[in-house]
Amino acid sequence: MKNRPFKIPGLWLLDRSGAVKIDPGRITYCYHNKDVTRIVYSGGYHTSVQVPLKKLEDKLRRENFFRCHRNYLINLDHASEGTFENGFLKFPGRQIVPVARRKKARLLLMLDRIVREGGVSA
């Protein structure tokens, strides 16, 4: 019997502890601190991986993610449910993420595009 390559669906990250499967659609945001990237999911659940935020950003490039701060990567699908005040993005559930001043205008344009394309109505 030949060894055939196989694919396990989903997005997998390899770190020192092994392989971790992540679900991009459920991620609210990710932040990096002291060689550890914490992935925060909707509902407050989180996982930590020893993967640079840049590598995670590259893997999620096709998804709807935005690097709003040096240490933060947000899921714009979840951000469109939050509010932007005083340089911080507030997600439902009291989660607060800083937004760099130089990234604010681009973030607001992207959120506006999502709202317009998503057909959100009042």
* pLDDT interval class at 3 (50, 70, 90): low
- CATH number 2.60.40.2470 given to 11-116: no
- Nearest-angstrom CA–CA distance, 17 and 25: 23
State the average pLDDT for the chain: 83
Q: Where exactly are the structural domains of the chain? A: 11-116
Convert the pLDDT of each residue in 23-33 to its tens digit. 888 899 999 99
Whether residue 121 has pLDDT greater than 50: no
pTM: 0.81
Q: What is the pLDDT of residue 120?
A: 47
Of residues 91 and 75, more confidently modeled: 75
User: Among residues of the chain, what percentage have pLDDT more than 70?
Assistant: 86
Supply the pLDDT for residue 122: 43
3-state secondary structure the chain: CCCCCCCCCCEEEEECCEEEEECHHHEEEEEEECCEEEEEECCCCEEEECCCHHHHHHHCCCCCEEEEECCEEEEHHHHCCCEEECCEEEECCCEEEECCHHHHHHHHHHHHHHHHHHCCCC
Please give the share of the chain, as a percent, with pLDDT higher than 90.
Answer: 29
